[in-house]
Structure 1
Amino acid sequence: MFYSHGSGLSIEPVMAIRIKPIEEIHRKISSRNNNIDIIDTKVDVYKLDDNTDGIYRKNSSLSIACNDKNETENAVNLIIYCFENAALEYFDRYSSVSDIDSAINDNPEYKSVLTGSVEPLRYIIGLIVAKLNNNPSLDQLIGSYSQKINAIPFDPVRFKKEFSDLLHVL
């Protein structure tokens, strides 16, 4: 991701997984732009040592400033390092519906590193992958995620509608 930053740019390395069966179901219920990534995480969140079990525990930020040629060269080197030392492992580790189901739904009481801080989206994706993976805990997950989405203190109308529509699709 690139952001305008003063007279230069700020870069945040992000990794996104695109798995067609998940996206097809999500597209049926979503009012959002269908080209956005629904399973993504920032490199720094994924690589934290205490996130190796897929549970999201910290909200750190890796932001690379690019204000001149030297900083730009350093940013390129860091992006290559992130790709080689985080992204390749990430894509290998979460390359299937089963892998994603495990990362999101094995510990439903915790945030998932795959969906970061967007909890309502996590509930939606969690149910989609549980259904696709024939997860025997699907009914319990539906109950748990239904309670959680209804208890959100702000009013995420879009997410609540998507969640409700998903229950009809499943």
Structure 2
Amino acid sequence: MSYDRIEWHSEGEGFPKEAKPEDGGTHIGMFLTWIVQNDLIGELYIEISQEAINKVKSQKMTGRDFLIEECDSKFYNEVLNDEGNEFVKYYYDDDGNENYFGDYAKVFDEYDNVYEVENSWENYDKIKPIIEMRYHEWKNNNHKSLTLCNKKMKVNEIAQEISDGVLESFQKHGFKYRKAQKEFVRKIKEADQVFSLMYTKRNDGTITVKPELIIQVKEIEAIYKSIAQIKSRPYLTLGNYFLHLRDYDGDDLNYKKKPTKEWLIENDADVKHLIKIIPEYLEEDILPYFESNSSVSRVDELLNKYPEKMSVHNYSYPLRTNIAIIAAKLNRNPNYDDLIKIYERELEDAEENYKIEFYKLKELLASNLINDKKIWDAKGKK
């Protein structure tokens, strides 16, 4: 998750024509300098960027240079440890009057434009005490009082508040909210597109939220359900946790399944933060994923490109194999026979129900029924 990026400023309205692109990151860099010097950096960056961290601490590298060279010009949540993220959500990522950018503008009000502020250690020394003050305010007051409320947070109330807060953004794009399932659904001719939020209350009173993207291509789903061992089981065509899909680098060949990423709600500020960022993710990541991948041909391409590898686009390997052979058959994939052999071998250790379904599908897909699409037509869907 990005809190800020240089491009959001350098490519935005109000950015001076004479300014250099990196001038859009001076304010981020100064904040990042304070983060580094106060040991609020996350474990990942301690591991991979220790040399650069030491340079920032010794003032041999500016925070802006660290941002550009080590963070790809993006101020990510991964840059911070847990305490750093909590403070950033309170101060940097807040829309109130006493947020970081507002303080930054006041400190450097002698400039006609905040993007003209020189990236210097002298200027950092001007903003540093303000950040320190805000940090101690948060540490001594807000943080303590908010964390005391953890035990009182109720999952259903939090879920309703978040869904109400983002509902308009989803409705604008044709989604409807299913309250019981805590999911937003859009039905198009070819598929159902689902963005779901799974809430879990932990022993310490905090709540985790796992956002998931699901695509159910109707033609594939109808065929699968015709042979399904457990009719009530959801047979998603494509699906994974949104944060995995968002951060996916496109390297299907080397993809490895990773632990589930989730959002953490500890207080009201976290709820407000999610209400703010989910609509942004909808526009930037969720809609493009749905619009690119809701067809049989695309499912065939995504699931069958590397049949012996895990796929980020369907996290359940046994289910993926069965979905994949349906898509390959419908899309007339020339490698269909080879795919059958590969998946048959890969399913040797799978749950028995998936094996039974595979052999039923293998028989069905070889018949004239599927070639004539009689199963699909009989459901009155086409």
With structure 2 as the length reference, what TM-score do the two structures score? 0.41
2:303 pairs with 1:104: yes
Equivalent residue of 1:50, what SS? coil
Distance in 2 (alpha carbons) for counterparts of 1:139 and 1:57 = 26
Which residue does 1:87 correspond to in 2?
286
Q: Residues 102-135 of structure 1: CA distance to partner in whole angstroms, max 9, x if unpaired?
A: 000022122112112x111111011010011111
Do the aligned residues in 1 keep the contact of 2:257 with 2:310 (CA within 8 Å)?
A: no
Specify the code of the residue in structure 2 equivalent to 1:128: I
- Within the candidate set 322, 325, 344, 1:127 is matched to 325
Q: How does 1:10-159 map to 2 (within 5 A)?
A: 10-34=208-232, 36-38=234-236, 39-51=238-250, 53=252, 56-116=255-315, 118-150=316-348, 152=349, 155-159=350-354
Do the aligned residues in 1 keep the contact of 2:347 with 2:355 (CA within 8 Å)?
A: yes
Specify the code of the residue in structure 2 equivalent to 1:13: P
Which residue does 2:359 correspond to in 1?
164
Do the aligned residues in 1 keep the contact of 2:252 with 2:311 (CA within 8 Å)?
A: no
Q: 1:160 to 1:35 in 2, by over 3 A?
A: closer
Equivalent residue of 2:314, what SS? coil
2:201 pairs with 1:4: yes
Q: Which runs of 4+ in 1 moved over 6 A?
A: none
Distance in 1 (alpha carbons) for counterparts of 2:287 and 2:360 = 34
Following TM superposition, by how much is the alpha carbon of 1:44 offset from its aligned partner in structure 2, in angstroms?
1.7
Following TM superposition, by how much is the alpha carbon of 1:49 offset from its aligned partner in structure 2, in angstroms?
4.3
Following TM superposition, by how much is the alpha carbon of 1:37 offset from its aligned partner in structure 2, in angstroms?
4.7
Distance in 1 (alpha carbons) for counterparts of 2:286 and 2:251 = 14
Structure number with bigger Rg: 2
Q: Residues 64-93 of structure 1: CA distance to partner in whole angstroms, max 9, x if unpaired?
A: 122322111112223223322221121122
Distance in 2 (alpha carbons) for counterparts of 1:41 and 1:58 = 10
Equivalent residue of 1:13, what SS? strand
Equivalent residue of 1:18, what SS? strand
Equivalent residue of 1:12, what SS? strand
Specify the code of the residue in structure 2 equivalent to 1:2: Y
Specify the code of the residue in structure 2 equivalent to 1:106: K
Over the aligned positions, Cα root-mean-square deviation in angstroms equals: 2.1
Do the aligned residues in 2 keep the contact of 1:57 with 1:111 (CA within 8 Å)?
A: yes
Following TM superposition, by how much is the alpha carbon of 1:48 offset from its aligned partner in structure 2, in angstroms?
2.4
Distance in 2 (alpha carbons) for counterparts of 1:63 and 1:109 = 27
Q: 1:55 to 1:124 in 2, by over 3 A?
A: farther
Distance in 2 (alpha carbons) for counterparts of 1:54 and 1:44 = 19
Do the aligned residues in 2 keep the contact of 1:65 with 1:75 (CA within 8 Å)?
A: no
Q: Residues 13-48 of structure 1: CA distance to partner in whole angstroms, max 9, x if unpaired?
A: 111102110110110122334472512111122122
Do the aligned residues in 1 keep the contact of 2:253 with 2:309 (CA within 8 Å)?
A: no
Unaligned runs of at least 5 residues, structure 2: 1-197, 366-382
Structure 1 range deviating more: 4-13 or 121-130: 4-13
Distance in 1 (alpha carbons) for counterparts of 2:317 and 2:295 = 21
Q: Which has the higher contact order (CA 8 A, sep 6+)?
A: 1
Unaligned runs of at least 5 residues, structure 1: none
Distance in 1 (alpha carbons) for counterparts of 2:265 and 2:219 = 38
Following TM superposition, by how much is the alpha carbon of 1:157 offset from its aligned partner in structure 2, in angstroms?
1.1
